[in-house]
Amino acid sequence: MANYGAKILNNATAALAAQQTVIATTGNNIANVNTPGYVRRRAELEARIVTDSSSGIQIGSGVQVATLTRMADSYLEKLVREANGKLGASTGQVDVLDRLDQLFSLNGNTPTIGSSLNGFFDAVNDLAADPASIELRSQLIERGRDLVTVLQTTYNQVAQLQDEADDRIVSEVQETNAILTQIATLNGAISSTESGSSGAVAADERDRRSQLLQQLGGKLSFQQVELPDGSVTLSLSNGFTLVNGTHARQLSTSKTPSFAPPPTPQSLSGGALSYITFDYDPGAGAADFDLTQTIQAGDGILGGLLKVRGYNAPSNTSPFQADGVLTQVATRIESVSRMLLGQVNTTYLGPDENPGAANHQPSSGDLYGNTPRQTDGVTPAVYALFDFNFAGAKDSNGNGLPDDLGTHAGVSNYTSRLQLGVTDPRRIAAARDADATVGATSFAPGDNQNMVAISAMQRANNLTFSVSGVASYSLTGSFSDQYSETVTTVSSAVSKAKSDQGVAESQLTAAQQKLDETSGVSLDEEFTNLIKYQRAYQASARMIKIADELMQQIVTLI
């Protein structure tokens, strides 16, 4: 007869150990109920198989803990990571664009480019009604200055947003590098724990790595492959490997990478934009590989920031050739400045009195009886009504007309250099020459024809707004059409980013809820289990007592 007494004891002891393990696991779950990234664990029980050579009835050999299961779901984790990436991308954009939105406020309390343009033309029209008035002339100068200031302030703020986005990209890349390094380290820890045949699970390391992967998803888009040893390989969409086993590549940012020899295109503020690169030859430092566009095409905060900040190919020359909303808006502002410096100035100079000659002879005149250029010479110190701050020759082709914008070496944008060419109210040329003889001029103080010509530009709807060399933008219409289109550009960019953010938030919440449904700790469940296993433990303990009593019965028989 088999020794059932010993068996009872053995089974009960095994059961005690198994239940204890389960209770400990439950305890760990309860302890980590609020730990971010913690995936609940379950100790899986199974009937113990002990080969019993003796004949008789196989009653079994008790219970044991088969494995410790991490209740993870890689598909749901991927969903969370992707939603996190989308949220990062849209949040990165919203952070920047929210402030852009306020620059084009519609509440009527803050001066905008639209209202300043109106103010300027209002002063032109007022002066047209009373051309000799010094008060109205001064008003035109003041309104002109307002316009210049608002154009500059708006432009500079847009440029500053670009610089800030650039700075943030640099620090986000550093954080990304730190995450990549930690993932590589955890890869090592996981593969060394799980590589043997023990079936051990590096649960805590996996929890931390999942969390880091989610954080990395919030930074940039990447592809992930888990290898049999438990380590993950991460790569960008172009196949560039970020992490392979225990090796993590470090990205860097550079404004002067080896693939972009000077002159690299300037940023909106006149500085330079950073490229995200990987240096294949850190020693020599001349083997930079451009990853900017690959990262820009993806999600994550880096993708979002790059989309807003824009990418300018090293072969480009103008800051307005970059992509991105900020560049689009800045291009529109710059086109207004160039319209003032170009066509408005040309109109202000009046028709050429002597078309046969090489130089344009202005036909407009001021209260002193001078044409706008008469006191300035051929290469004017003063450009015309609107001027720009530049040390070299402003009229580079010397024809007397402001038709050569974009040719001034070192000038990447004219808006930040914009200024008013006239400071003396009497110097405003409101009149047109009444003397038809070439070379002779006669200006009546009450003549408003030149102001009428400028005023007509406010109503003209065939003005072409563009920036030379920038193919992506050209608009034919009125000043008002142009401003309205600019506001629409801002509006659609900001509201798209905001709605993307809303969608990403709800996607992330839904994905996290789904993941928590599987991986999250439920106290109800854990306590119910606790009671269940406590009872089992108590019962097993009672089994030992019963076995003991059975033994004693036998002993008393002796």
Partner 1 sequence: MTRVSENQQVRSLMVSLQGNRKLINQYSNEVGTGIKVNNPSDSNYSGSVAQFKQSLEKTEQYKDRVSAVKGFLTFQDDAVSQASDLVLRLQEIAEQSANETNSATVRAQMAAEAFAIRDHLASLANSTYQGRYVFGGADDDDPPYDPLTYTNSSSTASGQRYVYDSDPGNNGTRVVQVSDDVSIDTLIPGSRIFDNAIQASERLGRALEGFDTTPAPPAAPNGGGAAYVFPADAQLQSQAIRDSLTQLKTARDVDLQPQRTTIAGKLRRLDTASSLLELSKSAGEDVLSRLQDADVFESASKLAQAQTALQASMQVTTRILNISILDFI
Applying CB under 8 A, the residues found at the interface with partner 1 are 33-34, 40, 97-98, 101-102, 104-108, 114-115, 117-118, 121-122, 125-126, 128-133, 431, 434-435, 442-449, 452, 455, 458-459, 480-481, 483-485, 487-488, 490-492, 494-495, 498, 509, 512-513, 516-525, 527-528, 531
Which CB atom, from 8 or from 136, has the smaller least distance to partner 1? Answer: 136
Q: Least distance from C-beta 456 to partner 1, angstroms? A: 8
Tally of residues, the chain: 558
Q: Least distance from C-beta 410 to partner 1, angstroms? A: 33
The three-class DSSP label of residue 380 is: coil
The bridge status of strand 364-365 relative to strand 386-388 is unpaired
Amino acid at 295: I
Q: Least distance from C-beta 92 to partner 1, angstroms? A: 16
Q: Least distance from C-beta 289 to partner 1, angstroms? A: 37
Q: Least distance from C-beta 441 to partner 1, angstroms? A: 10
Which CB atom, from 459 or from 545, has the smaller least distance to partner 1? Answer: 459
Q: Least distance from C-beta 422 to partner 1, angstroms? A: 20
Q: Least distance from C-beta 123 to partner 1, angstroms? A: 9
How far is C-alpha 17 from the chain's CA centre? 54
Q: Least distance from C-beta 157 to partner 1, angstroms? A: 14
Q: Least distance from C-beta 508 to partner 1, angstroms? A: 10
Which CB atom, from 126 or from 288, has the smaller least distance to partner 1? Answer: 126
Which CB atom, from 40 or from 206, has the smaller least distance to partner 1? Answer: 40
Which CB atom, from 44 or from 525, has the smaller least distance to partner 1? Answer: 525
Q: Specify the long-range contacts of residues 227-234, CB closer than 8 Å, at least 24 apart.
A: 227/191, 229/190, 229/191, 229/194, 229/195, 230/187, 230/190, 230/191, 230/193, 230/194, 230/195, 230/202, 230/206, 231/187, 231/188, 231/190, 231/191, 232/183, 232/187, 234/180, 234/183
Task: Pull the structure tokens for residue 557.
Answer: 């028989």
Which CB atom, from 134 or from 357, has the smaller least distance to partner 1? Answer: 134
Q: Least distance from C-beta 522 to partner 1, angstroms? A: 5
Rounded-to-integer distance, Cα 391 and Cα 412, Å: 14
Q: Least distance from C-beta 486 to partner 1, angstroms? A: 8
Which CB atom, from 386 or from 443, has the smaller least distance to partner 1? Answer: 443
Q: Is the dihedral of CA 129, 135, 139, 141 positive or negative?
A: positive
Element (H, E) at 83: helix 74-103
Q: Determine how many CB atoms are found less than 10 A away from the CB of residue 516.
A: 15
Which CB atom, from 74 or from 442, has the smaller least distance to partner 1? Answer: 442
Q: Which residues contact 298 (CB under 8 A, 6 or more apart)?
A: 85, 89, 220, 221, 222, 236, 237
Which CB atom, from 77 or from 101, has the smaller least distance to partner 1? Answer: 101
Q: Least distance from C-beta 38 to partner 1, angstroms? A: 9
Which CB atom, from 476 or from 492, has the smaller least distance to partner 1? Answer: 492
**CA–CA–CA angle 454, 457, 459 (5° rounding):** 130
Residue appearing with tokens 């999250």: 520
Which CB atom, from 9 or from 453, has the smaller least distance to partner 1? Answer: 453
Rounded-to-integer distance, Cα 131 and Cα 133, Å: 6
List phi, psi (to 5°) of 547: -60, -40
Rounded-to-integer distance, Cα 413 and Cα 219, Å: 32
Terminal alpha carbon distance of the chain: 19
Rounded-to-integer distance, Cα 80 and Cα 511, Å: 5
Which CB atom, from 443 or from 533, has the smaller least distance to partner 1? Answer: 443
Query: Of the candidates 413, 481, 473, which has an alpha carbon nearest to the alpha carbon of residue 154?
Result: 413
Task: Pull the structure tokens for residue 237.
Answer: 């969409």
The three-class DSSP label of residue 84 is: helix
Asked whether the beta carbons of 287 and 432 are under 8 A apart, the reply is no
Q: Least distance from C-beta 69 to partner 1, angstroms? A: 15
Task: Pull the structure tokens for residue 430.
Answer: 């409101």
Q: How far from 450 is each of 134, 145, 231, 265, 455, CA to CA, in Å?
A: 16, 19, 76, 39, 9
Which CB atom, from 167 or from 481, has the smaller least distance to partner 1? Answer: 481
